[in-house]
Amino acid sequence: MRSAIALVTLAAVLAAACSPDAPGPAAVVGAPLLAVVGDSGTYFVATDGSDDNPGTEEAPWRTVGHALPHLRPGQILYLRGGTYVENIKNPAIVAGRADARITVAGYPGERPVIVGLLWLTRPSYWTITRVNVTWSDANLSTEHMVKITNGVGWIYRSSELWGARSYAALLVSGTTAGEPADWTVRGNCIHDTHPSNNANRDHNLYVNTGTAAGAGTVAYNVIYNAPNGQNVKLGYGASVAQPDDGTANVTVRYNTMYGALKNVLVADGSHSNVIERNIIAAGEDGYAVRAYRLTGANNVFRDNVFSGFARLQYADPGYGSLTDGGGNLFPLDPEFDGVGCDALRPLNAAAQPYGRYAR
């Protein structure tokens, strides 16, 4: 039995780790989420487990897809290190609560990798941390690798998502007015989405929440290499079909982006989005930011570092543009220390207050 002191300490650590305002963790590993305890509120998945087990530390489950529907508010699921070849497509999960989050975490000091798909619908008040996902060649290019739809108060952080051969490594989508809301994508490394579909269709992070969605934040991520798409796209998938749809109320701040066909794009009826304090470098099309058939208003970019572009903004003739809020350093070479999840650190002191490693 744990002591009262241990319970208080555990609660304090969990609250700090789940806060979207906590300092950005390392892109892939991060600090331990909390001390591991083997009570009825903590469950485990391991590559040598069995889904017939009770999910304890001594007798863990085998698959992540089996484990997720078992979780209830305040409970924790640890993924032990190893490879989980699974297509997890919208299992019937239960929402957490603001005062009792559900946490899915890589076991401290170990590296679990899901090879396949991770799709979740309405993971309200869930924190997903150190849960890495990469592509399986068994999947289709029309399948987003990681997809989170709707939900309130969820957080995806401290994970590596890479190697997608689809429309997006991570898609954040909304199908219900007001959702998603208060969501956070933070401290991840999202990279190397390979050309797999028609021109300009394969993105690292694609946010398509709808114009009636609540607020969301994309912060302190390293995002790089999308040669047939955007590092970050805010918009809808088919502008001609639904030109008034898009993405709303998203703040993209303190990210480092590198090496995409078009690094940042805001499209369609998207409105009330802010792009600030990022380092954005090396886009192939020559524009730092791009508005595509933009009909929505109040889309602002300000106080960013831009490097490797001939022009600041492209906007389609006859449509709206992004508002230049000022303070953009263009051009300014950040002098990166390399390219990778633990690289893209600016050596240029003028760029160091911006991007993933801002100080």
Share of the chain above pLDDT 90, in %: 86
* pLDDT tops 60 at residue 29: no
More confident residue, 15 or 288: 288
Place of tokens 């924790």: 76
174-212 exposure pattern, b = at least 16 Cβ within 10 A, e = fewer: beeeebbbbbbbbbbbbbbbbbbeeebbbbbbbbbbbbe
What does the pLDDT read at residue 268?
93
Q: Which amino acid is at 233?
A: K
Residue 66: which of 83, 75, 53, 81 has the closest Cα?
53
Rounded CA gap, 210 and 172, in Å? 10
227-247 residue pLDDT tens: 999 999 999 865 455 567 899
Position 216 confidence tier, pLDDT thresholds 50, 70, 90? very high
pLDDT at 104: 98
Query: Parallel, antiparallel, or unpaired for β 82-89 and 112-121?
Result: parallel
- The model's confidence at residue 19, banded by pLDDT at 50, 70 and 90, is very low
- Residues 186, 20 contacting (CB under 8 angstroms): yes
Look up the pTM and report it: 0.90
pLDDT tier, 327 (very low <50, low <70, confident <90, very high otherwise): very high
Q: Answer with the residue of higher pLDDT: 258 or 21.
A: 258
**Residue 237: Cβ within 10 Å count:** 17
d(C-alpha 161, C-alpha 190), whole Å:
5
Assigned token pair, 242: 């639904």
Query: In the prediction, which pLDDT does 244 show?
Result: 77
Q: Which residue has the tokens 């992540």?
A: 64
3-state secondary structure of 68: helix
Taking CA atoms, 71 is separated from 36, 44, 90, 166, 282, in Å, by 16, 11, 14, 29, 42
Residue 188 and residue 146: Cα distance in Å, rounded?
Answer: 13
pLDDT (tens digit per residue) in 30-87: 333 443 444 459 999 999 999 999 999 999 999 999 999 999 999 999 999 999 999 9
Q: Are 95 and 124 in contact (CB under 8 A)?
A: yes
pLDDT of residue 300: 98
Question: How far apart (Å, rounded) are the C-alpha atoms in residues 255 and 72?
Answer: 32
